[in-house]
Structures are given as structure tokens and as C-alpha cells.
């Protein structure tokens, strides 16, 4: 699979998990849900895991993946001061 085919599949896989944030699924299950070959899904899942988008549950022999909610950091000014430019 070349990079041109890989990027849409990566987006499709990420959207599957983002749309179903409580889903826990095996690579085989992900391939069935997306209608793709397992050998095409394995490198995509590994990449999403390395990027922190997916969380690995279970063991290497029977891996399960779930969506990892991104961390949001906000700084709030509680002093009430308005900064002028």
C-alpha cells in the first residue's frame, strides 16, 4: 500500500474510533468494520498507536485498541486583568 492509499485509510480508522469513543476492538474487528484487509489495517493501527490516538489494551498475542481522548490544556487568567496591546 502506497502513501496515497494509506492516508485516507488512516483517517477512516481514526474517524471510526473517534465516532465510537468507547469501542474496544481487535485489528481483525477493525478490518471487518472498515471492509478492509487485515494486512492493510495492521500498519495503520500501529501508526495511530504511536501517535497517541489509540490506546493498546490486552497483550501482543490478542491486542485490543480503543480511542484515546486527546489532552486539552487551557490556561485561564483568574485575575480578571485585561491585557492591552
DSSP output for 62-78: SEEEEE-PPP-------
Architecture, CATH, for domain 3-67: Orthogonal Bundle (1.10)
The answer on pLDDT for 69 being more than 70 is yes
pTM of the model: 0.76
Report domain extents, the chain.
Answer: 3-67
- pLDDT tens column, 20-60: 999 999 999 999 999 999 999 999 999 999 999 999 998 88
Which residue is it, cell 490486552? Answer: 58
The average pLDDT across 8-28 equals: 95
Amino acid at each position: 500500500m502506497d502513501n496515497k492509499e494509506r492516508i485516507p485509510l488512516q483517517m477512516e480508522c481514526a474517524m471510526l474510533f473517534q465516532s465510537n469513543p468507547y469501542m474496544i476492538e481487535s485489528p481483525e474487528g477493525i478490518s471487518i468494520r472498515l471492509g478492509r484487509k487485515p494486512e492493510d489495517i495492521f500498519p495503520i493501527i500501529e501508526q495511530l498507536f504511536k501517535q497517541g490516538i489509540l490506546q493498546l489494551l490486552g497483550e501482543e498475542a490478542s491486542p485490543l485498541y480503543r480511542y484515546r481522548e486527546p489532552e486539552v490544556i487551557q490556561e485561564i487568567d483568574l485575575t480578571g486583568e485585561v491585557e492591552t496591546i
